[in-house]
Amino acid sequence: MTEDFRKLFGSSEGVRVYRAPGRVNLIGEHTDYNLGFVLPVALNLATYIATAPSGDGMLRIYSEDRREMRQWPVTGIASLGRARHWTDYPVGVAQQLIGAGFAIEPANLLIRSRVPEGSGLSSSAALEVSSALAFLNGRALPPLELARLCQRAEVQFVGMPCGIMDQYISIFGRERTAVEIDCRSLEHRDVQLPAGVTFLAVNTMVKHALARSAYQERVQECLAAVIRIRAQFPLVESLRDVPPDQFRSLERLLPGVILRRARHVVTETARVGQFVAASEQGALDGMGALMVESHRSLQHDYEVSCAELDFLVDRALEIEGVFGSRMTGGGFGGSTVTMLRPDAVPHFRRQISEAYEGKFGVVPAIYPCEPSAGAGEVKDF
């Protein structure tokens, strides 16, 4: 990467490389902005940024994926508006850093992303977090502040009202463990995954256009549910505060669609705890069953799945050695995550690819989900 950096910018003196991973969420979908629990793992698919001072007052960013260079005088960064362009992510992060009291130094950046865009594996958060580290270039910011700052960049500048999961796991990911995040307290704990299973992400290779507007709609629907519940139960501040066994008694407060959205969030939040317990007991069938319940709830109650995701899940469940499967991430395309026996991986790959290509005419990309370390500087290149 330093060699490519030198070719692009003429010199690689003082270059440093930062890495921020994508993620796969094992369970706890659309619960983060409801202040519930999530259980993601950081992947070894990551975004890398090489950076060195430019010395000429300019910030230059080159995206290898887009083969595109953009540049601005650093003095102009604070006043840039949203451009509906990939640069919104780094620029949004730069503005948040300025707001937090960090000057953006004149620098050149080369972005190399190994998190496929639109895969539902959180390429946006990987770009935000790696950009933040590149802009800071060694200056310290507490990790939780970093996660919140990157989330704010996405919400306020990019205009996507996401929760904190993706940025958080990109920073707090750990090798060999999943991370259970409490999206209210913003604390986490590492969760040991049982031996004898492995997880694979299967990419539908589609991202339906309504993904963003539907996400915004779901956020609003959850707020509407909270407002109605709170009118009678003032202590309920988010759907996280509704225990599943009390949900039935609240049903009469909620009109049809809102009721189904809230039911997903309430049951999904509970499923995270059940999945963690099952994982710690090595209850593989129980874990698999919870993944499938999660998918059905996202499919029928939350309505964020799509034909491609449903097909991958249904087909996966017919393959020998599979414990469970579900969509992962925001939905409307992107990827599924499947839990299976390691010895089933070769025939799973073959059978799921053949079936998906036969139905949709596209070969799905398949990625191993090896829990990996969170973001940081890459020193051993």
- By beta-carbon proximity to ligand GLA, the closer residue of 166 and 241 is 166
Strands 107-113, 58-63: pairing is parallel
**Residue pair 128/160 in contact by the 8 Å Cβ criterion:** no
User: Residue type at 75?
Assistant: T
- In angstroms, give the least distance from the CB of 206 to ligand GLA: 16
Q: How far is the CB of 10 from ligand GLA (least distance, A)?
A: 37
Of 28-36, 71-79, 86-94, 189-197: span binding ligand GLA (CB under 6 A): 28-36
- Which of 32, 88, 293, 308 lies at the binding interface for ligand GLA (CB under 6 A)? 32
C-alpha to C-alpha distance for 288 and 267, rounded to whole angstroms: 16
State the catalytic residue, choosing from 32, 88, 166, 301: 166
Other C-beta atoms closer than 10 Å to the C-beta of 205 total 18
90 binds ligand GLA (CB under 6 A): no
Q: Between residues 5 and 168, which has the closer beta carbon with respect to ligand GLA?
A: 168
Active site includes 166?
yes
**x-marked contacts with ligand GLA along 290-329 as a string, rule CB under 6 A:** ---------------------------------------x
Strand (E) positions, the chain? 16-25, 37-38, 40-53, 58-63, 68-73, 107-113, 177-182, 187-192, 198-207, 322-328, 333-340, 365-368, 376-378
Is residue 173 part of the contact set for ligand GLA (CB under 6 A)? no
Give the x-and-dash track for 335-354 against ligand GLA (CB under 6 A).
--------------------
Distance, in Å, from the CA atom of 14 to the CA atom of 36, rounded to the nearest integer, reads 43
Q: Which of 30, 152, 207, 264 binds ligand GLA (CB under 6 A)?
A: 30
330 touches ligand GLA by CB under 6 A: yes
> Residue 10, Cβ neighbours under 10 Å: how many?
9
CB of 373 to ligand GLA, least distance (A): 20
Please identify, using beta-carbon distances, which residue of 23 and 60 lies nearer to ligand GLA.
23
| Residue 163 binding ligand GLA, by CB under 6 A | yes
Beta-bridge partners for 202: 336, 366
Judged by beta carbon, residue 30 or residue 271, the one nearer ligand GLA is: 30
Helices (H), 282-344: 284-296, 307-316
Question: How many residues bind to ligand GLA according to rule CB under 6 A?
Answer: 11
Q: Which one of residues 162, 191, 236, 254 is an interface residue with ligand GLA (CB under 6 A)?
A: 162
In the chain, % helix, strand, coil (3-state, to 5) comes to 45, 25, 30
Q: Is 116 in the site for ligand GLA (CB under 6 A)?
A: no
CB 42 within 8 A of CB 373: yes
CA atoms within 13 A on the CB side of 167: 27
Distance CA 3, CA 10 (A): 10
Distance between CA atoms of residues 277 and 102, nearest Å: 42
Q: Which is nearer to ligand GLA, 63 or 167 (CB)?
A: 167
Window of 160-168, 204-212, 229-237, 363-371 that interacts with ligand GLA by CB under 6 A: 160-168
Q: Which of 18, 33, 37, 302 binds ligand GLA (CB under 6 A)?
A: 33
Q: Which residues are catalytic?
A: 166
Interface residues with ligand GLA (CB under 6 A)?
29-30, 32-33, 122, 162-163, 165-166, 329-330
